[in-house]
């Protein structure tokens, strides 16, 4: 089985290329770039495929957190711009001018920023307060908060459970699994619930 993570660290990034985004947070620029570079190395002659796969991964993470996003084509454009920005810097890797070094420093300084593809009206579209709090916290430095376990109430409502009782964990997973047959991955009905944020004071 091939590894999903490269052992070579990416220039400027300091992290290896990897196939997967972190599962419990929304991705930052560094993580998206690492996934993009992973696919680009596997498919060096098909940039469009690499961009598309990366964009799907990003969109899937936002879907898991129940956060509405910008259009898919706009996510693709944003991923491609990140690729172009990084490759542009790589072309001037050997330059030691003040401007070149400043450009690299600015790029590195933004790597930990959230790769934000939430819809511009996301806060008003999200109906669950915990989800709004999660997005707001993820936009802050350090991406506070993490996605938790399955939201049982949401899943039961989504799949029309009306037996009058509460489903067991096994029943819940079976119901979701049956409903997902034939659906693409982005239509997953398992909605990880963002954990409540604890005050640091």
Q: How is the chain split into domains, by residue range? A: 5-194
Q: Between 147 and 76, where is the model more confident? A: 76
pLDDT for res 160: 55
3-class DSSP assignment, residue 114: strand
Q: Mean pLDDT in the chain?
A: 80
Task: Check pLDDT > 90 for residue 144.
Answer: no
Coil/strand/helix, residue 62: helix
Tell me how far apart the alpha carbons of residues 60 and 122 are, in angstroms, rounded to a whole number: 16
Q: 198 with 145: CB under 8 angstroms?
A: no
Return the closest-CA partner of residue 155 out of 193, 186, 125: 193
**pTM of the predicted model, to two decimals?**
0.72
Contact 94, 84 (CB under 8 A): no
Tell me what the mean pLDDT of segment 18-43 comes to: 95
pLDDT exceeds cutoff 70 at 3? no
Predicted confidence band at 14 (pLDDT cuts at 50, 70, 90)? confident
Most confident of 27-31, 146-150, 167-171, 195-199: 27-31
**97: helix, strand or coil:** coil
E strand or H helix at 34:
helix 29-42
């Amino acid at each position: 089985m091939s590894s999903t993570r490269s052992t070579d660290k990416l220039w400027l990034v300091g992290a290896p290329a990897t196939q997967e985004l972190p599962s419990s947070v929304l991705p930052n620029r560094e993580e998206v770039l690492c996934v993009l570079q992973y696919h680009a190395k596997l498919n060096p002659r098909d940039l469009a495929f690499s961009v598309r796969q990366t964009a799907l991964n990003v969109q899937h993470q936002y879907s898991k957190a129940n956060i509405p996003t910008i259009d898919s084509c706009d996510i693709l454009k944003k991923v491609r711009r990140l690729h172009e920005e990084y490759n542009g810097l790589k072309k001037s890797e050997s330059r030691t001018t003040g401007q070149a070094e400043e450009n690299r420093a600015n790029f590195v300084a933004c790597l930990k920023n959230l790769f934000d593809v939430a819809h511009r009206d996301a806060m008003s579209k999200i109906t669950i307060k915990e989800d709004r709090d999660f997005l707001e916290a993820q936009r802050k430095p350090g991406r506070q908060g993490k996605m938790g376990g399955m939201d049982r109430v949401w899943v039961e409502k989504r799949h029309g459970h009306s037996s009058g009782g509460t489903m067991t964990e096994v029943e819940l997973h079976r119901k979701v699994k049956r409903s997902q047959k034939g659906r693409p991955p982005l239509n997953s009905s398992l909605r990880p619930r963002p954990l409540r944020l604890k005050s640091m004071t």
